[in-house]
A and B are shown apart, each in its own frame.
Chain A
Amino acid sequence: MAIKVITDSCIGCKICVRSCPANAISMDGKLAVIDLNLCTYCGSCVSACKFAAIVIEIDKQAQGDLADYHGIWVFGEQNDGELAGVVPELIGEGRKLADKRGCELSVVVLGENIAHLGEELAKYPVDKVYLYDHHELARFRPEPYTRVLAQLVRKLKPEVVLAGATTTGRSFLAKVATELYTGLTADCTGLEIAEDGLLLQTRPAFGGNIMATIQCPYTRPQMATVRHKVMQSAIPGETATAEIINVPPDDSLMRSKVDIKEFIADVGSKVNIVDADVIVSGGRGLGAAENFAYLKELADLLDGAVGASRAAVDSGMMPYPHQVGQTGKTVCPKLYIACGISGAVQHLAGMQSSDCIIAINKDPHAPIFSVADFGFVGDAVEVVKEIIKQVKSGRGIAG
């Protein structure tokens, strides 16, 4: 296994040298030379070279008989007996993939007293719903969930397993994929079936500044967690059409070193920031912590959530769970209203895939205006107060 420059094809254009994030490529006359002590096999040079002069050869074989694996699975995450918001999106995307691949789509639910979820999911365009009902699975804990899903996968051999990129999905599938020695791609924003039948998984990296497409050619299942609010939701029908299968639970899988003591809900917010369709977000430009009250009022009127920039959180204006950005949350709402936020690169990383961005800032040169669909130069607090006033005075939101 190696990376090598094909001498006859290299014309010495040096594009690869510039493309390498590890500074691993230099020129020996007109020939590119790769320092194997620095190369991380990221593939940037392979993509950059216009002459196909760099190749990465991996001497690997398929593990086991890949042809034994069929079907697309969606993990039907549930919390307190309610399906996570991302599940219908996974079903929507899963159905498209299953149709292209010519295979079945199944949803797998782990939990306690989940029969009603079986009935709910059976109305969606899925072929099977597996219910794994056990009191030790009521809430997510890593070990029982991992053992159960790994056992199901080993027995039923799905070709693809998808889950939402939630705090549960990301932790849980990482353990399952490691256990099964198979590939997992995190936080995907794009999925498709290639001509050769492989699942191509596209996701952002470097805080969303680049996109990477990933595949898992040698092992099964191909696993991915999928970003919320990107894929199109499936619509359930009137009647249940899927087959519901109650899997007999195995007590021996349920040991856990984790004991859940209590849950302290975030009572300040009506809507959770990662689920919100509308986010009203504030930055240092708001001036004082009290001004966030106006953002909260507007968010409540719009059934939205309040976000904050890192600067606002670091200066104590808002608590960390509201932070949007590279070291906070990544959000993808229909509408993101940035108030007094300058638009630092790290903040954009967390919200630049919002459907529509409105920015209000005193500084006409604030970087946020370079990504905002609608920019307003003014005092964010005054403008927000005015919007609230106009909404309340009867101009309303809905027409």
Chain B
Amino acid sequence: MKAHHLKAKNIIEFGLNFNTGREKQPYVTISTKQYKLSVLVLMRIVNLGDDMNIKKFISKPLKVLAPFVAASVMATNPVMADETCMSPYMVKIVGQEDFVYVWTLGVEGLGDGQDKMVTVDVNPKSDNYGKVIASESVGGRNEAHHSGFTDDRKYLWAGGLDSNKIFIFDVHTDPAKATLVKTIDDFVSKSGGVVGPHTTYALPGRMIITGLSNNQDHGGRTALVEYTNGGEYIDTYWMPTDDNLQGAHKGGQFADGYGYDVRALPSKNVMLTSSFTGWSNYMMDFGAMLGDAEAMKRFGNTMVIWDLHTRKPKQVLDVPGAPLEVRCAWKPENQYCFSTTALTSQIVLLHDNDNDGMWQADNVSDIANPADIPLPVDISIQSDDALLWVNTFLDGMTRAYDITDPHAPKEVYSKKIGNQVNMVSSSWDGKRLYYTTSLLGNWDKKAQDNDQFIKLYHWDGKEMTEQFVIDFHAEKLGRAHQMRFGAYSLYGKTAKVEQAKNPIVAMSK
């Protein structure tokens, strides 16, 4: 318990440090009851545990906790809702989401041919349920890939793996229309040569961005890059390499310097990064790459454990076969994370087994039949840490693994979603699962197997039932990739949109 409390302090200070210089936090008036409740929610979010000294914790001056409280107050209202894969620093939503923002790749010769943020109405009470209600084109085909909200959930950052641009969308002024307000176009020069902005992940007041490549050889050596929520560059943290481990412990054979995803586990003061491949591979025709013996050697075989507070790498772990998405358990007592390897089809458990700060990576289950190279892609952990959804791109399947024993996941359900499937986003209550299809512009299946859609399924714990599907080819939109949820209630709004008085002046370029 003492340890928990110390870490809680760290986190508060951490939040403060990194709030320096950011926009003023919104002033909130709340009741004591609301405040206590919100602190409980906050603790839940940051994995502090319910058993810590609440009185001491909430005796912190209100202003200290303001950013968190502002978020968690909203979280205590029936506003809460969002998928289970996002930053613990962000307000979570447990109710019905109103919108899904789909970061969509433009296709040459289809519609306007450029990347766009597509807003889909997903509230069953809405007249537009299951329809595209807005689409914001950004210019160019940037290899649209992943996106993530700032911790205050007002802005959605979406990266282009090819053009290295980061598009920042306002999602709070009118949640029914994600609106482009700023484009970062000098990510490569600012970061000192990082290419392929991938995960845009919220830390308090900051966005941490994983790179996939570099501007020197378009290979896999890369870095983490930190920005303020306002879009100002802060620092670059290169992945450890053999010649410069930066103090990290190399426990195995590999320190390749590759990157992919990032997640934080604040209660352990760690960030975890995974590793994929460089520009030459992720942009290459997938079939050509499979036949290119040199290219097939250029995949990541490592994960790195970082000190969350100092951003220093602590450990390089051997995880062969390109570990991609990283998802951490939510329950305070479950201090572990999962990843899956794209090429060797393993579920990997990452844990600090002996609680001595030394992490280990264990392959705990096959995914489907690894010899078929099903290509595990997106994964989603249920908020009660009981299920892990794993999509496999090449067979178009989603599979649920019972992870109540994280050391021995068991496949308990599977369903074919389409000819191909990539992303899965789950509502906090686990009842709604959204799926999209695109993996990478040049990796997607060709011709009639190139399904492009968003589908919603309801999940009752035993069976999935399709609710709607939007065909992104028929709608002339492009390739549907990552989904993020939006809700009016996050911003104290109702479906009738309120006009913000002073919306995004600070963000406009």
Binding between chains A and B: no
